[in-house]
Amino acid sequence: MKIVIDIPEKLFNIAKDGMLNEIQSMFICGRIILGTPLPKGHGRLIDADALEGHRQIQIVPCGNGKCTDITVYYQNDIDIAPTILEADKAESEDKE
pTM: 0.57
Residue 75 clears pLDDT 50, i.e. is over it: yes
Residue ranges per domain, the chain? 45-86
Q: pLDDT by residue (tens digit) across 3-62? A: 999 999 999 999 999 999 999 999 999 999 999 999 999 999 998 888 887 777 777 777
What's residue 96's pLDDT? 46
Q: Is the pLDDT of residue 92 over 50?
A: no
DSSP string across 11-23: HHHHHHTT---HH
Count other C-beta atoms under 10 Å from residue 27's C-beta: 15
**Rounded to an integer, what distance in angstroms lies between the CA atom of residue 32 and that of residue 2?**
10
* 50 in Cβ contact with 82 (< 8 Å): yes
**Distance of alpha carbon 2 from alpha carbon 40, whole angstroms:** 8
How far apart CA 42 and CA 33 sit, in angstroms, is: 20
